[in-house]
Structure 1
């Protein structure tokens, strides 16, 4: 069985004004059977999702969890949480027989467990509530015995893994081991005999004897210590009184509480190693045999204490887990770049959006493409408030410095600029395009060129020559290209297209940047003949020999160092550059 769906009403930031409408949950999110990576910026609601689950189901480590005032949305007096479970085997279903219903999935009916938790406030006090389950909207009280089969494994953010792994009363390690078949329900265990033998050795040491009852030579210090204690005891009690010094009584629970988990060959392991060790022990608990309940692990900030390469190693192994459902939260683009997009959920705009094919307008080819090309840098788009998608390095270098000079710093506005490398904008912006047409609250600017050459290459006497196309024909070609490209784009992307050939052609003709662009281009290609700059630039563009990235870097540096005076009013009136300004402003809204 696995958690298939979570619905929330008036819980934390997932709420709405007015009466609670059961047909319109404030959050409705579906989970995958295996790994689920919940990502998003700070305060986007990731922890709210985790907390809603564990408040209802409770944890196997018996964390103290209860509803408090801050769990209610604004001034609401009622909140509701619904959890739907599917994929129940016969052994699992028998734990909830009277609470099950049936629903149709892919033309087949299967048993479903719907768990309901409603909490009310009256006169400022939070009223006690029961966890209920059933097919109707109220359900029946779910008994404690059944709830035991729904407890989850939970790892806190910035967890104190060192404290969790050391020997102590009710240590997490002892709880995990007690639930394992190696110790569960065992009255006579080999460890009890070993422990009793050890205990006997302790008692004999303080009597000055070895395990065979012979005198310990030369160590009689234990006996001397016990004799000193006995002298005092005889004075406090009577002359026949004496002490017994041994360890605690041999009980499996106490033995397990005395155990410590560490790494062989590593002294004083750091927090990163201990975190991995702790997660490994929790996975043992989730994968225990002969368990007919839920196997769900909740891990907040999976990247805690782990450097990037270790993060990848951990997530690679978690993806391989079978028969175990994991819901992880993360801020890490590193992890987002490696977890398949189908397994990710974005929290933003007071909602959560699953990125599986059931919900996005990405097709199978898009998913294959993104799994290959969505690297760490491009994964920033999953966390950004705005996006600017560009075709190449030149735009990626120049646009951020222009944005800064006109008062729209991309970092301050949490806008990511993504260089798609001429590999198709739709592969990226369709991540945010939903089958239910729900807006994800992100502005996506796509900056591209019309790609209509202003010159053409001809052969004259076996020699290549470059001739300017009639200006009216060139303008008409550009206009037609703009219209055709605009027809290829859809929500949520907004296209900002240059009305000229390429970015470099626009820079050359810019009334603001043109002079500096021409000077830098001549310096980069200092062996070329620049008598006719336009013709020479066209030739290099057609030959694909223009050193675009180097020119763009030098131009960006010049802008950044104020070698060019740029302001918003100047660029807005610059016909060749205003599309870039409009794209920056739109993405920064």
Structure 2
């Protein structure tokens, strides 16, 4: 059996919540304070944990609208878990509370309902197939306990010998240790105790024990004479298990080693899995792990999550994990992701989204750790290349819209693959995912600039010919109004073709670089391009003094274009982008990096009103608050 559905009313940040889980792996992703921990705690309240920790609802668990004061806090909350996947062996333990669905399959609903009054919290746990239910007994509830790993784990401490150690709890609850009275470990420990006692009574330790008992005899009253002896543990199995430790060994040298927090965390997780892999266990096999990536570097995170996916599939174990790791989010199958955002949960399985089969396969191949940060963002900007990815953060800062402060992620999807990514946010269910997404793309209508100025003014020169990227003529004498129509149709086509919940922002002229080269930042952009052109042979490496010299030479060249050659805005932009960047094969990414540095100290007055740059400004404002 597995946890199929979770419903909550007035619990923590969730006024209403209804979400379904996979029977295997479920990875909850989302930004801080998105409600991931609330989900885990709600499940713990209903089920309790294998560590038998003390769990009791408190006043802060009752829903409160963040815009209101505490007098508006809810007075009741309810958390309901529905279980499915019963076989005849597991079903028999819950026969008094089971129901059947339309397909005649068993289901079990268990819920906690709590009220608060005069600063005190009262709660009941019930189960049943109807809304009334009855109290579920201790034996049945014990079979529903979940294995839980808290986020701030002191793995080394939990696995060392001490009273009530987590290791002893894990072992004590395993079916290998069911026979408490006649377990083999008791006989082993009895022999050990006898050997230790003999050492302190007949061998080297005899004098030590004699001295201790002599002091005790002098300290104690005649009516209560005290004596002592050395041993490892008393005669109970629980005491024996509390003396055990679990330590890491290096297989290559066959000896114990001093490992870090990450390695001990892996050992701790491996130990906890013992409770989920009991061979004859007929209860719930559910693991709750918060921030599974704790203390682990990215490569270990990936290996761990791949192993857990395999364990889920092979052993019919269910996991509900939370993470802030983009590495984990990129490696888990999309169907196993659950996005937490704005007080709602959005499963990413095929039955919940409008992603097509091909989209899932594509995203599983190309959703890397860089692109998966869109699951943790308040806003997303989809771009088609490295230049936009590098340039936009600096550009946004200069217009007072720092992307980091607004939790906006830039996702470089390459080419037109943004259509795949944007469909992630489309839902088949009634849950509307509220997330601002801007798409920045080029219009890709190439202007034809005459390089032979002698024929430029001839009537048949076709000065306004526009060509596509393959050089094919689109139209002769296309007006600016018609170019704008191309832009509008491009944006509308993006929305219509895939119903993508994005706002498209299309470059007004040709490409990003060409539009910048036409703008009020034209001369600054030319300086960046000039530096990259002159240092290309040195792998774009230059010093401070060389930078100053190159900037001065760039200024001279730009002034000549304007004052002596009388070039138009388009002709200057063409020189910068086509004749230098494209013809000389200058890296767009490097130019963007150099230009981004120039932007930091640049005068940005007039940028927002510039028709060449307004689409970038609007795209940034769309995801940072209009």
Alignment of 1:177-216 (within 5 A): 177-208=171-202, 216=203
2-structure distance, mates of 1:154, 1:527:
57
Task: Work out which of the residue numbers 111, 114, 119 in structure 2 matches 1:119.
Answer: 114
Of the structure 1 ranges 153-162 and 549-558, higher mean CA displacement relative to structure 2 is found in 549-558
Task: Work out which of the residue numbers 520, 529, 536 in structure 2 matches 1:521.
Answer: 529
Task: Work out which of the residue numbers 583, 600, 604 in structure 2 matches 1:566.
Answer: 604
Shift of 1:354: 1.2
Task: Work out which of the residue numbers 37, 40, 50 in structure 1 matches 2:30.
Answer: 40
String of CA shifts for 1:208-234, please: whole Å, max 9, x gaps: 1xxxxxxx4xx3x42463266258538
Does the residue aligned with 1:138 lie in a helix, a strand or coil? coil
Q: Which residue of 1 aligns with 2:469?
A: none
Q: Which residue of 1 aligns with 2:501?
A: 492
Shift of 1:98: 1.9
Shift of 1:500: 1.6
Q: Return closer, same or farther for 1:351/1:235 CA change in 2, 3 Å cut-off.
A: closer
Q: Which residue of 1 aligns with 2:287?
A: 297
Bigger fraction of residues in helix: 2
Q: Return closer, same or farther for 1:200/1:578 CA change in 2, 3 Å cut-off.
A: same
Does the residue aligned with 2:96 lie in a helix, a strand or coil? helix
Of the structure 1 ranges 234-243 and 314-323, higher mean CA displacement relative to structure 2 is found in 234-243
Task: Work out which of the residue numbers 346, 365, 387 in structure 2 matches 1:372.
Answer: 365
Shift of 1:125: 2.7
Does the residue aligned with 2:509 lie in a helix, a strand or coil? coil
Does the residue aligned with 1:259 lie in a helix, a strand or coil? coil
Runs of at least 5 residues in structure 2 that lack an aligned partner in the other structure: 65-72, 250-254, 452-460, 467-475, 537-556, 566-570
2-structure distance, mates of 1:413, 1:521:
30
2-structure distance, mates of 1:517, 1:240:
94
Task: Work out which of the residue numbers 148, 154, 161 in structure 2 matches 1:154.
Answer: 148
2-structure distance, mates of 1:261, 1:466:
82
1-structure distance, mates of 2:137, 2:181:
28
Task: Work out which of the residue numbers 158, 164, 168 in structure 2 matches 1:170.
Answer: 164
1:555 matches 2:553: no
Q: Which residue of 2 aligns with 1:579?
A: 615
Check the 8 A contact 1:5/1:31 in 2, yes or no: yes
2-structure distance, mates of 1:548, 1:442:
30
Task: Work out which of the residue numbers 88, 92, 95 in structure 2 matches 1:97.
Answer: 95
Shift of 1:319: 1.3
Q: Which residue of 1 aligns with 2:391?
A: 398
Shift of 1:170: 2.2
2-structure distance, mates of 1:232, 1:347:
63
Check the 8 A contact 2:517/2:572 in 1, yes or no: no
Check the 8 A contact 1:359/1:435 in 2, yes or no: yes
Does the residue aligned with 2:104 lie in a helix, a strand or coil? strand
Q: Return closer, same or farther for 1:437/1:473 CA change in 2, 3 Å cut-off.
A: farther
Count of residue pairs brought into register by the alignment: 554
TM-score by length of 1: 0.88
Task: Work out which of the residue numbers 478, 488, 493 in structure 2 matches 1:482.
Answer: 488
2-structure distance, mates of 1:389, 1:327:
30
Shift of 1:261: 0.6
Task: Work out which of the residue numbers 209, 212, 234 in structure 2 matches 1:225.
Answer: 209
Alignment of 1:393-472 (within 5 A): 393-455=386-448, 469=465, 472=477
Task: Work out which of the residue numbers 113, 127, 133 in structure 2 matches 1:139.
Answer: 133
Shift of 1:146: 0.6
Check the 8 A contact 2:494/2:504 in 1, yes or no: no
1-structure distance, mates of 2:526, 2:361:
41
Q: Return closer, same or farther for 1:323/1:549 CA change in 2, 3 Å cut-off.
A: same
Shift of 1:155: 0.8
Check the 8 A contact 2:386/2:412 in 1, yes or no: yes
Shift of 1:90: 1.2
Check the 8 A contact 1:451/1:502 in 2, yes or no: yes
Task: Work out which of the residue numbers 249, 256, 261 in structure 1 matches 2:241.
Answer: 256
1-structure distance, mates of 2:431, 2:208:
80
1:361 matches 2:354: yes
Root mean square deviation of aligned Cα = 2.8
Check the 8 A contact 2:581/2:587 in 1, yes or no: no
Does the residue aligned with 2:612 lie in a helix, a strand or coil? coil
1-structure distance, mates of 2:17, 2:219:
72
Check the 8 A contact 2:581/2:588 in 1, yes or no: no
Q: Which residue of 2 aligns with 1:30?
A: 20
Check the 8 A contact 1:82/1:116 in 2, yes or no: yes
2-structure distance, mates of 1:378, 1:232:
70
2-structure distance, mates of 1:57, 1:83:
9
Shift of 1:527: 11
String of CA shifts for 1:147-184, please: whole Å, max 9, x gaps: 01100111111112222111122221112112223211
Shift of 1:447: 0.7
